[in-house]
Amino acid sequence: MAPNNFLITIVGPTAIGKTALSIKLANHFKSDIISCDSRQFYKEMTIGTAVPDADELAAAKHHFIQNRSIFDDYSVGSFERDTLKKLDELFKENPIQIMVGGSGLYVDAVLKGLDYFPEVAPSIRQELTEKLEREGIEVLQRQLKELDIETYNSITLENPHRLMRALEVCISSGIPYSTFKNKPKAPRNFTSIKIGLNTDREIIYTRINKRVDIMIENGLLEEAKKLHQYKDLNALKTVGYRELFSYFNGEFTKEFAISEIKKNTRRFAKRQGTWFRKDESILWFNYLEDINTIIAKVSDKINVLNQ
């Protein structure tokens, strides 16, 4: 491993100010920015995913922002592979690079590596989806218990996505899903430095509510209306679009849909906090911390690690 390569990763709840901080750090260290927000990959989704605006994108070189279509099948494993390849290129130019995003699984994929699973035929996934719709989740739960008792005892059985993922691997490979987990990961050619932004929960919630109001003012309803016909795509089964699709379908009033976006975004921020608080290596800062203080702390850590 090359100890002089550093990836500074900025994490924290949505609407906390990670983008602004990443640009300041990128400008200071003269680095690029890797976006690690799984919702910002898609070029058809701009307003509802809080993609950096034109001025922010011009202020520093960004990667993996709106580089995919909602029609593409893009997984966390694909993101891990693409990001490591891009980092190899960037480290040749500058040994310090920046990654930013609130998608904990995607952050972990880049920094630690993922377990790798065999390819699954789309027909198997389709069969399981139809079985779920036709016979209910209990049938899939019993099937998993027969094929992989270890996974059955370790996952949230009420989560259909995780249930079907485990089952499709079992069926496709003929061996338990659990046998593919916790294998040795490929070493990284960089040292990770993680910094987090946070503040009181009520402030985060207020910032989220304000951001949603701004999204609505900026045309989120019109953006979602154009995407409504594609509502069954995985990329669009996400907060900010799902609620408006229910409004377009006549299930919600517009006011209720907007309130649901705010509520579900707050819940998402809470889950982000739970995920990142488990990581004791993160250097936490208040979202109002002076940028020079953050730069000094990060620079000190780099200097220590370089010795």
CATH at residue 146: 1.10.20.140
Domain co-membership, 79 together with 227: yes
DSSP string across 95-141: SEEEEE-S-HHHHHHHHT---------HHHHHHHHHHHHHH-HHHHH
Q: Dump pLDDT digits (tens) for 226-266.
A: 999 999 998 998 999 999 999 999 999 999 999 999 999 99
Domain co-membership, 89 together with 171: no
Q: Dump pLDDT digits (tens) for 145-164.
A: 999 999 999 888 888 888 99
Average pLDDT taken over every residue of the chain: 94
Domain co-membership, 101 together with 11: yes
Q: Dump pLDDT digits (tens) for 192-207.
A: 999 999 999 999 999 9
Distance CA 42, CA 244 (A): 18
Domain boundary among 146, 164, 180: 180
Domain co-membership, 282 together with 268: yes
Domain co-membership, 222 together with 249: yes
Q: Is the pLDDT of residue 1 over 50?
A: no
Let me know if residue 281 belongs to a domain.
yes
Distance CA 289, CA 283 (A): 12
Give the residue numbers spanning the domain of 26: 6-114+185-306
Distance CA 69, CA 103 (A): 19
Domain co-membership, 220 together with 190: yes
Domain co-membership, 190 together with 155: no
Could you give the maximum distance between any two Cα atoms of the chain, in Å?
A: 62
Map tokens 């002089």 to a residue. Answer: 4
Domain co-membership, 109 together with 135: no
Domain co-membership, 80 together with 202: yes
Domain boundary among 156, 180, 204: 180
Tokens in use for 181?
């987990």
Q: Note the pLDDT of residue 120.
A: 86
Q: Note the pLDDT of residue 2.
A: 45
Domain co-membership, 172 together with 239: no
Let me know if residue 160 belongs to a domain.
yes
Question: Is 58 within 8 Å of 25 (Cβ atoms)?
Answer: no
Q: Dump pLDDT digits (tens) for 80-124.
A: 999 999 999 999 999 999 999 889 889 999 999 887 777 888 899
With pLDDT > 90 as the criterion, what percentage of the chain qualifies?
81
Q: Is the pLDDT of residue 3 over 70?
A: no
CA 233 to chain centroid, in Å, comes to 17
Q: Note the pLDDT of residue 59.
A: 97
Q: Note the pLDDT of residue 25.
A: 98
pTM over 0.85: no
What total number of domains does the chain contain? 2
Residue 301: which residues within 8 A CB-CB, separation 6 or more?
Answer: 193, 283
Domain boundary among 162, 180, 198: 180
Distance CA 298, CA 9 (A): 11
Q: Note the pLDDT of residue 167.
A: 95
Let me know if residue 1 belongs to a domain.
no
Q: Note the pLDDT of residue 251.
A: 97
Q: Dump pLDDT digits (tens) for 27-79.
A: 999 999 999 999 999 999 999 999 999 999 999 999 999 999 999 988 888 99
CA angle 249, 252, 255 (to 5 degrees): 130
Q: Dump pLDDT digits (tens) for 167-193.
A: 999 999 899 999 888 777 788 999 999
With pLDDT > 70 as the criterion, what percentage of the chain qualifies?
99
